[in-house]
Amino acid sequence: MRSWQRITLIGGLMILVGALSTALGPDGAHGPRETVYVLVAVIALGVGGSILASGLIDRVVARQVFGLDVAEAVEALRGTSPLVRSNQTLVITLISEAAEIRVAAEHSFELREASWRRKRLVLRLYTDVARWGSSGGFISIVEPDRTLLEGERLANHVREESGKTRFEKAYTFHPGVPASFTVETFGHFRTNDRLIWTVEHISSDFKVRINDCTGLDGDLEVKVNHHREREVIANMTRRPYNQGRMIEFDYMGEILPYQGFELQWSLRTAAPTVASTDETDAYVS
C-alpha cells in the first residue's frame, strides 16, 4: 500500500468514527456521556477530514511529479537526444588488490535511433569507473556486429580528456533495430571511497548488480538518485555472494540523463583478501 493510500485510509476511518459517534449519541441530553460523544465526533470528523485531504493532495502531487512531468520531460529530451538506451544491465565487482580496491564494471545496453530514420551518429562514452591510483579506463567494447575492440584497436578510439578516458566512434543506426553494446571498464579506488554512476542518454529498464568480492569487513551502501527512489530502494535486495556480498536493484521505466546512483564503501584492510587480479574476468563475466 502506497503512502497516500495509507493516509487516506486513516482519514476515512476517523471520519467513520466521528459519524458513528454522532449517530449513537442521544439527542436532547446534556450529561457527561453525551458530552463525550460530541467531543469524539467533533475531533474525529475534524482530524479525519484533515488527514483525508492530506492523503488526496499527496496523491495529486505524486501524479504530477512521477507521472505527467516525467513523461513530458522524456518527450522533450527525445527531441534533443538522437539516441535512447534500453535493456541495460550493469555488473560492478569490487576486488581487493594490495592497499587498493579494483572496481570492474561490465555494462550491456541497447541503443535506438530516436527519430526512426537511418543515421550515422558518433557514440561517445566516458569511463564509467572513475580512475584513482595506479591505472584505469576501458578494457574492451563489443560492438553491434559482435566485433571486439580491445588493445590497439580500442586505443585508436580512446583519448584522455579532463582527467577522464573517452571513447568515440561513429556507427550507423537503423530505425527500429536496436544496436547492442557491451562495455568493460575498471579503476582503482581507496578502501574508503565512492563511485558515482550516472546515465548519459534517455534510458529505460536498468538492472544493477554489485558484487563485493574483497573479503574485507566494512560498510557498503548505495544511494539512489531517481524520481522513483522509494520504489527502487524498496525492491533492493542484499545477499551473500562468493564469500562476499551482493546488492541488486532495478530502475523500471524511464531514467533521465544524470540520474543514477552513488556507491559508497568503507572497508578494513586488516582482513584477508579472497580474490586476485587473475580472477577479475571470472567475476565480471
DSSP 85: E
**Banded model confidence at residue 34, pLDDT cuts 50, 70, 90:** low
pLDDT at 46 over 90: no
**Banded model confidence at residue 193, pLDDT cuts 50, 70, 90:** very high
Give me the pLDDT at residue 9, please. Answer: 62
List 252's β-bridge partners, or say none.
none
pLDDT tens sequence across 145-191: 999 999 999 999 998 877 678 899 999 999 889 999 999 999 889 99
Got the DSSP string for 158-206?
A: EEEETTEEEEEEEEEE-TT--EEEEEEEEEEE-SEEEEEEE-SSBEEEE
Q: Are 269 and 191 contacting, i.e. CB atoms less than 8 angstroms apart?
A: yes
pLDDT mean across residues, the chain = 75
Give me the pLDDT at residue 15, please. Answer: 55
CB atoms inside a 10 Å sphere around CB 127: 21
**Banded model confidence at residue 252, pLDDT cuts 50, 70, 90:** confident
pLDDT tens sequence across 51-96: 544 544 444 444 444 443 445 444 444 545 678 899 999 999 999 9
CB atoms inside a 10 Å sphere around CB 193: 19
Give me the pLDDT at residue 23, please. Answer: 57
Give me the pLDDT at residue 98, please. Answer: 81
**Banded model confidence at residue 275, pLDDT cuts 50, 70, 90:** very low
Q: d(Cα 261, Cα 221) in Å, to the nearest integer?
A: 10
Q: d(Cα 8, Cα 13) in Å, to the nearest integer?
A: 9
67 vs 223, more confident: 223
Give me the pLDDT at residue 113, please. Answer: 85
Whole-angstrom CA distances from 231 to 114, 157, 236 are 28, 38, 9
Share of the chain above pLDDT 70, in %: 63
**Banded model confidence at residue 283, pLDDT cuts 50, 70, 90:** very low
pLDDT at 192 over 70: yes
284 vs 157, more confident: 157
DSSP 227: T
- Global pTM value: 0.67
Nearest Cα to 207, choosing from 91, 109, 111, 89? Answer: 89
